[in-house]
Structure 1
C-alpha cells in the first residue's frame, strides 16, 4: 500500500472516529511531534567546526571509548 493510500485510509478512519479521548490523544501526539520537530535545527558551520575541534582534542587526550569498551558497557544493560 502506498503512502497516499495510507493517508486517505487514515483520514477516513479519523472521520468516523467517535471516541473523544482517543481523538484527544491523537491530537496531543501530533501537536507534540510538531513541537519537537520545530525544536530541531541544523548546526551552523561555526557550530560544526567547534564540535569537530572538541572531538579532535578529546581523541588526542584519550577521552574516547573503543568499540570493545562500548560492548563491555552495554553487556551490563
Structure 2
C-alpha cells in the first residue's frame, strides 16, 4: 500500500472515532510529529554565526539583559 492510500485509510478510520480521549492522543502525536519535522528543517549555524551569538550573549549577560531560570519558570507555572 502506498503512502497516499495509507493516509486516506487513516483519515477514514479517524473519522469513525467516537472517543474524545483517542482523538486527543492522536492530536498530541500529530503536534509532536510536526515539531520534530520542523526541528529537522533547521540548518546548523556556521562557526562565525555561533561565535557572534556567543559574543552577543556574553554582552547581554554583562549588561544585565537576561532572566534567571527562576523568572522563566515562574512565567510558565
Q: Under a length normalisation based on structure 1, what TM-score does the superposition of the two structures give? A: 0.52
Structure 2: distance between partners of 1:8 and 1:39: 26
Helix, strand or coil at the partner of 1:18: coil
Match of 2:55 in 1: none
Match of 2:15 in 1: 15
Cα RMSD, aligned residues only:
1.9
Structure 2: distance between partners of 1:39 and 1:5: 27
Deviations 1:42-70 (A, max 9, x none): 213x24xx8xxxxxxxxxxxxxxxxxxxx
Q: Cα offset for 1:13?
A: 0.3
Match of 1:39 in 2: 39
Q: Under a length normalisation based on structure 2, what TM-score does the superposition of the two structures give? A: 0.52
Deviations 1:14-71 (A, max 9, x none): 1111111111000011112212332341213x24xx8xxxxxxxxxxxxxxxxxxxxx
5+ residue gaps, structure 2: 51-77
Where do residues 58-77 of structure 1 align in structure 2 (5 Å cutoff)? none
